[in-house]
């Protein structure tokens, strides 16, 4: 069993489970029964940190997690998120207003079949609502016993400081992997300073570091990578050239490429936790076994030299997606 890491008052396996892909994002929605089996298998393997959100599958994901694991609620720490509002013409309007947060939280609790969520994130910072007001609404939810702790997602270091001054922040979630180093600009340092747990999502680079693009492939419009520059045109061709040498390092160590990506993160920062997502049990089992992979300083140096913000081609988000986040960017 992996050494546990701290998430506020919780002690959790450093490899959790991002549940989004059980409802949306990477092609057709998986079979419901298969998703239920995967969730149970995750707990059986010692995965005790599950991450969902109100917006995933427009509520489907929370309903799935709540229904499937109701009888095993004591076995895991649960995180969900607010901060998006669905309208008639836009399913993802950023809204961090106190009224929207309160409404979304109550709906999340109903779907989950719970009266309390362990960790509740603001999914995106709202440019129309000061971060202090959004956090104030979440603080009132803590006082009411509806949530145990407050998290933030995709915010800047300055916003984290301001939020933490308004109410203690337990976790900050942002994409982090060998090929997305943005948190290294400022956010990771501020998390360490304030005692905030950093939660890395998309740790295997949305499948790229697991071999999903080892050979060319076409993406459908129901796959969120369809709109991401790194997976398109000349950018994906240049990035594919990195994969062969990367895979060779994994073979030298004796692990899979996905395990190598996760092990790099766990060695990079002894306090962070990560939430790889999958809808396949074989991949889940592979990911959880990454806890056992040991990397030498030479391996870490080789990986850092091979895959980094200067060798990866293309932005992680397109212009519309990037406009919803404030995490610092490399020039």
**92 in a domain, yes or no?**
yes
Which parts of the chain fold into alpha helices (H)? 32-44, 60-68, 98-112, 131-143, 157-166, 187-194, 233-253, 257-268, 281-288, 297-306, 319-322
**62 in a domain, yes or no?**
yes
- pLDDT for 268-296, tens place per residue? 999 999 999 999 999 999 999 999 999 99
| pTM, rounded to two decimals | 0.96
**225 in a domain, yes or no?**
yes
Task: Assess contact for 188 and 163: CB atoms under 8 A.
Answer: no
Task: Note down the domain range covering 85.
Answer: 5-322
**46 in a domain, yes or no?**
yes
Instruction: Tell me the CATH number at 89.
Output: 3.20.20.100
**112 in a domain, yes or no?**
yes
pLDDT of residue 280: 95
Q: Which of 56, 121, 243, 317 is catalytic?
A: 56
pLDDT of residue 90: 66
- 218-222, 256-260, 323-327: least confidently modelled range: 218-222
Q: What is the mean pLDDT of the chain?
A: 95
**Overall average pLDDT of the 260-274 stretch:** 98
Number of domains in the chain: 1
Does residue 248 surpass a pLDDT of 80? yes
- pLDDT for 165-224, tens place per residue? 999 999 999 999 999 999 999 999 999 999 999 999 999 999 999 999 988 888 888 888
pLDDT of residue 29: 82
Closest Cα partner for 81 from 107, 53, 103?
A: 53
pLDDT of residue 217: 85
Residue 56 is a catalytic residue:
yes
Q: Tell me the C-alpha distance between 122 and 153, whole Å.
A: 6
- 22-26, 59-63, 146-150: least confidently modelled range: 22-26
Percent of the chain at pLDDT above 90?
Answer: 90
Q: Tell me the C-alpha distance between 250 and 185, whole Å.
A: 27
């Amino acid at each position: 069993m992996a050494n546990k890491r701290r998430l506020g008052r919780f002690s959790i396996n450093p490899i959790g489970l991002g549940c989004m892909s059980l409802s949306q994002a990477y092609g057709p929605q998986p079979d419901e029964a298969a998703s239920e089996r995967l969730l149970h298998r995750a707990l059986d393997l010692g995965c005790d940190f599950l991450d969902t959100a109100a917006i995933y599958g427009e509520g489907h994901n929370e309903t799935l997690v709540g229904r499937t694991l109701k009888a095993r609620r004591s076995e895991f720490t649960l995180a969900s998120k607010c901060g998006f509002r669905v309208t008639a013409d836009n399913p993802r309007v950023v809204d961090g207003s106190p009224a929207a947060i309160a409404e979304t939280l109550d709906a999340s609790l109903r779907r989950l079949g719970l009266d309390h969520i362990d960790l509740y994130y603001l999914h995106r910072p709202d440019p129309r609502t000061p971060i202090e007001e959004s956090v104030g609404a979440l603080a009132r939810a803590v006082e009411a016993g509806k949530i145990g702790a407050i998290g933030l997602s995709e915010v800047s270091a300055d916003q984290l400081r301001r939020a933490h001054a308004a109410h203690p922040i337990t976790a900050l979630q942002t994409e982090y992997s060998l090929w997305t180093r943005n948190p290294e600009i400022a956010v990771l340092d501020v998390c360490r300073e304030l005692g905030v747990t950093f939660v890395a999502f998309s740790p295997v680079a949305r499948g790229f570091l697991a071999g999903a693009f080892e050979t060319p492939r076409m993406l459908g419009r129901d796959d969120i990578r369809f709109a991401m520059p790194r997976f398109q045109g000349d950018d994906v061709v240049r990035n594919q050239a990195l994969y062969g040498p990367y895979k060779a390092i994994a073979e030298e160590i004796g692990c899979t490429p996905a395990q190598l990506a996760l092990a790099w993160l766990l060695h990079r920062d002894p306090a962070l936790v990560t939430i790889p997502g999958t809808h396949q049990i074989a991949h889940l089992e592979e990911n959880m076994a990454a806890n056992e992979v040991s990397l030498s300083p030479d391996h870490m140096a080789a990986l850092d030299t091979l895959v980094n913000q200067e060798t990866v081609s293309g932005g992680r988000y397109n212009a519309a997606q990037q406009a919803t986040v404030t995490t610092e960017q490399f020039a």
